[in-house]
Each structure stands twice: as structure tokens, then as C-alpha cells.
Amino acid sequence: MKAALDTYHARMLRALDHIDRHLDKALDLETVSGVAAFSKFHFHRQFTAMFGISVHRYVQLARMKRASHRLAYREGQSVTDIALDAGYEAPDAFARAFRQRFGQSPSSFRKSPDWAPWLSAFEPLDTARSKFMHRTFTQEDVVIREVPKQLVAIMEHRGDPAGLGGTIQRFIAWRRRAGLHPSRSPTFNIWRSERRPAAPADYGIDLCAGIEGPVAADGEAVRIGEIPGGRCAVLRQVGQTDNLEPAALFLYRDWLPGSGEDVRDFPLYCQRLRFFPEVPEHEAVAELFLPLK
């Protein structure tokens, strides 16, 4: 029974994988059901029963999420190109759908995103993806690595995590002006709190870009700091890197107690190696670092 269920889930996940890889192409029911090797006459009900959302809505939300990321974080791509990539034949139709979902026009969102409706709009998509996409980590997934110290430029986010998108937007714009492209300047996040603290005002995270020397703040609240070198337990996560809390919990709850190791006086942090929307979400890569004595 369990083997049959696992196979069924794997076939459904193949469908999600295909959708995420082909957001800029036609995604009709026959094609997606064929990827999962299910009958097209039943697949839409199977998909909705499994994920709580229809195939059509899943595709719409996945395309809109990629489009909104491109609007917020990519200056070089026009609204028209983003609309076409999202499957709309004309910018007007894209603008109407975008405003209906987020309460802002695409151009207004690009200039000053309102992140609270954005987060709410994608809850069904995030819930669908999380149902059967939980990664089960093992002790063998964790490696202990000697990590060199890293000089970083830091932009802090303190307060409600709903505003984090705005801080990320400013950070990306600043590092673009500073010439710190991610291909040459590694990207780190240092967690200063839990992902969901009891009081949202207590949330804290540092957005960091690796540097080799002084950089100009250029009007932003950027300071220079250092990620210290030393031994670290390293755990890699591939896919769904916007929520690394399960990986962090595995390190603290499962790996650390049986490892015989003790932690150093520096927070858990991660390095982001491959980014959405440059790659599909399931191909994004991040490594978590737990500093050890």
C-alpha cells in the first residue's frame, strides 16, 4: 500500500516539476496529465484532490509568482515581455489579472510593491507545493566543512517579515549599483531570529553580499561585517529555498544532539547558490551553515 502511494505521489510531483520547468510554454491538461501518466479525463479531479487547487489555477499562480519576482527584482525586463512570458497575449490582460490579484498595476508594483496582498495571494500555491514536497534529511546529508572567513556588506531587516520583500528589493538595487553581481559576489542570509517569532516585530535577518574591500553605501543603510571562519555543519537544500525552516529544524533537532558537536557563538546562516526566478523554484539551491566549535 505504501509503495503504491509513494508511486502515485511521485507521478503527481512529476506533473508539478513539468509545470515549473515550462511556465513559458503551453500547459494544457492533456500534456500535464501525460507527464504524470494519468488519464486526462480524471487528472483534473485527481490534481485538485491531491493539492487543493486546480491545474489551471496552479499554472496561473506559478506564472504570476515568477512574473511578480521579475517585476520587483529585475529592472531590465519590460512589463510587456513579462506579460508574454506569463502566458498573456497582451499587456492589458496581464495588467487586469495582476491588479485583480494584488490590488496594484504591474508598473505600480514594480515601483513600490505592497507585499501583504502578495503573500496572501500565493498561500494556495505554497500550500499545494508543501503537501508532498517535504525533503527528508538524513545524518549523511550533513557534512562538516572548514569555512574561510568572509567579508560582507550587510543590509539589515528588522521587524515584520511581511516587509522583507521591500528590503530585498532595496538590497538587490543597491548591489546592482555597487557592481556586486551574485556571479562574482556570494549571497548570504544570517538569521537573527526564528522564521516566525511570537511577535512579528522581533523578526530579524541580515542580507549579505560578499566583498573584498570597502564599498559605498550609496544612501542605503549598508554596513561592513564579517562571517567568521571555522568549522561548520553544512546542509544543502535543493528546491523551495524560500522556506529553509525544515532544514534548520533538522540540524538542531535531529543532527546536533547525536553529533557530539557543540555550536559556536554565531547565528545559523545560509549561502544562496542558485536563485529563483533565474532558475525554476525546484532548481534553486541554498546551503545552511551551523557554526561549530
What is the C-alpha to C-alpha distance for residues 186 and 274, in angstroms, rounded to an integer? 10
Largest Cα–Cα distance of the chain, in whole Å?
A: 61
Encoded amino acid at 143, one letter: V
CATH number of 2-130: 1.10.10.60
- pLDDT at residue number 134: 59
- pLDDT at residue number 57: 92
Segments in the chain below pLDDT 50:
none
- Cell triple for 263: 555550536
- pLDDT digit string, tens, across residues 69-110: 999 888 778 999 999 988 888 899 999 999 999 999 999 999
What is the C-alpha to C-alpha distance for residues 190 and 215, in angstroms, rounded to an integer? 20
**Exposure b/e, 112-133, CB count within 10 A at least 16 = b:** ebebeebeebbebbeebbeeee
Angle at alpha carbon of residue 187, lines to 185 and 193, rounded to 5°: 150
- pLDDT at residue number 133: 59
- CB 94 within 8 Å of CB 106: yes
Question: Full-prediction pTM beyond 0.85?
Answer: no
CATH number of 139-291: 3.20.80.10
Do strands 150-158 and 204-210 pair parallel, antiparallel, or not at all (unpaired)?
antiparallel
- pLDDT at residue number 109: 92
Instruction: Outline which parts of the chain fall under CATH 3.20.80.10.
Output: 139-291
Instruction: Outline which parts of the chain fall under CATH 1.10.10.60.
Output: 2-130
